Chain A
């Protein structure tokens, strides 16, 4: 269970999100949705413990973040590491299998198999022996995703994992995430695309610097909520309704039973 209580957070003097309050039971596939600048990434960073909130608190599994960090996995910003570092793609993914009690220079056979599996899942198998510096930005992102997946942590946190990824790999990554979630693990993911959001997640957190709504998708994914979230940015909504082949009336304004 994730509980966010009375959370206000930001950077320096700038407040990026105000007074967020929600709780969702695990296992869940949670999408954090909202327009640019709505505080999605800030919320994710606070859950990760990278950003100390101004007020309020977050707990996971009933404990403060600092005590459950080892149960989280995340994909960092790709510019946060030195890409000239002497390491190959497979070695990076293997880092996901690191445990404090893994001694010696080698990883076990099952660790190597898992790493290879997730590297394949993000469509990067053929690059396993490459030095990481030789990869493009999107490829680096996918290697980091494979590493986070390989941790097989209880909660996986992702900030737009499909940004900079081509359509083919995008679909592949989404199906890997579905499998991951079906094994009883939870995913919290900042996401941009409303169209895939409607089928991918089972819970949504709709943000607009304040919380618009949070909860099971059947209750939260309503036209009025989406309008509050995206406000003036009507094009996204109409675009989506068009793609879904629905009239606004079909996208129920009332919670489904």
Chain B
């Protein structure tokens, strides 16, 4: 049964995930991932401070305070980087951890001071159930505003992230743009901190964009993948979080997103890690099989010493080799044809190296050992034409004709 309470929670999660994924796209494209992380940690003391002063964690003081402290952190990162020659990632790391520690200390003091805490104890790890209707309203407004801004400024986002100098020459006010973008990101992180928590919101900021980029270099697909994956993760996390109240929504959402992305990173055609590994394995087998064929072609009948050779087993399954009664391996008719092609490529390449590139004939073999596996049929044909269909290689071994 779907209760109103559950709908509230899911709506909150979806809005938060959507906002973070959307704002994360420029951050990811500008390679400012660490800055996004720093920002999410840096606004934490700001939010705690706002609760302490105003006595509640709802309403505008939280947002203003979060944004101010976030901007202060960014300003410090920039200043440290410029004044001390500490690299930017180093400066970012320092500011991140200092602000976060300050937030922890403040939170500890606050818990003992007797001020009504509201949902503040969840600011660290996030809890969607503590969401108030007013917060949901703000998330909704931000989501609409963010979508509008993103639509209007999409060209700016891509141009500035790709080539900031060119953007500046084209009249894009890069300084103001960065400032507005960072302030906006701080605002979004403040608005979503209660659902996702200071520690985890950076993951929701960056992972969707990274997944989108992994799947396609096409901006349209990147944006759609980022937003859809974030929304899907949020729906799942909202359900689980509502039915098992002890679980942190932020952590759930991040884990859901991970499970959603993981199969893609592993299995996506041509790019997935596992798919790449399989392709490499296949290629290695082909090389080894081709070498076996060539070996059998050059020597007549080999004995059982290599009985369990996996390459021979594969070739025999393909009926390219067979074993006679004495246990000797021989090439079949098709096997001979295939082997001749490899030998042909090998010897053609040797001839080419020797005749055209003037490589001495005792130095051509090693390179031909590689090229025999790489030349495709078209290259082989062109090579033969180029060399006027030679009948023997530099070592005077015959080059088998193409049948």
Q: Which residues of A contact B (CB under 8 A)?
A: 50, 69-70, 72-74, 76, 80-82, 85-88, 91-92, 95-96, 98-100, 102-105, 107, 131, 133, 147, 151
Contacts and interface: CB of A to CB of B under 8 A. Distances in A.
Contacts of A104: 151-152, 154-155
B21 to A, nearest CB: 15
B217 A86 contact: yes
Q: 3 shortest A-B CB distances, which residue pairs?
A: A105-B154, A131-B217, A100-B171
Contacts of B222: 86
B402 to A, nearest CB: 31
Contact of B155 (A82, A102, A147): A102
A91 B158 contact: yes
Contact of B217 (A69, A73, A88): A88
Given A91-B219, A105-B151, A100 B163 contact: no
B147 to A, nearest CB: 12
B170 A103 contact: no
Contacts of B79: none
Given A85-B29, A91-B219, A105-B154, A76 B165 contact: yes
B29 A86 contact: yes
Contacts of A74: 169
A151 B151 CA distance: 23
Given A69-B169, A95-B159, A147-B166, 15 more contacts: A50-B165, A69-B168, A91-B158, A91-B219, A92-B162, A95-B158, A95-B166, A96-B170, A98-B170, A99-B170, A100-B171, A102-B155, A105-B155, A107-B155, A133-B217
B218 A88 contact: yes
Contacts of A131: 217
A87 B219 contact: yes
Contacts of B165: 50, 76, 80
Q: Which DSSP category, helix, strand, loop or mixed, fits chain B's interface? A: helix
Interface of B: 29, 31, 151-155, 158-159, 161-163, 165-173, 212-213, 216-219, 222
Contacts of B213: 86
A151 B217 contact: no
A70 B163 contact: no
Nearest to A50: B165
13 contacts: A69-B169, A72-B169, A82-B162, A87-B158, A92-B162, A95-B170, A98-B167, A99-B170, A100-B170, A102-B155, A103-B153, A103-B155, A133-B217
Contact of A86 (B31, B151, B168, B218): B218
A50 B166 CA distance: 11
Nearest to B168: A69
Contacts of B162: 81-82, 85, 87, 92, 95
Contact of A100 (B154, B173, B218): B173
A81 B152 CA distance: 24
A8 to B, nearest CB: 24
B152 A103 contact: yes
Nearest to A107: B155
Given A70-B170, A86-B29, A76 B163 contact: yes
Given A82-B31, A86-B222, A91-B219, A100 B152 contact: no
Given A95-B170, A98-B170, A100-B170, A87 B217 contact: yes
B155 A81 contact: no
Given A86-B213, A87-B217, A91-B219, A80 B163 contact: yes
B217 to A, nearest CB: 4
A23 B213 CA distance: 48
Contacts of A69: 168-169
Contacts of A99: 170-171
A133 B213 CA distance: 13
A112 to B, nearest CB: 13
A31 B169 CA distance: 22
A133 B271 CA distance: 15
B170 to A, nearest CB: 5
Contacts of A105: 151, 154-155
A81 B166 CA distance: 10
Contacts of A82: 31, 162
A91 B158 CA distance: 9
Contacts of B216: 86
B223 to A, nearest CB: 9
Nearest to A85: B162
A100 B172 contact: yes
Contacts of A92: 162
A15 B314 CA distance: 68
Contacts of B161: 85
Contact of A76 (B153, B166, B218): B166
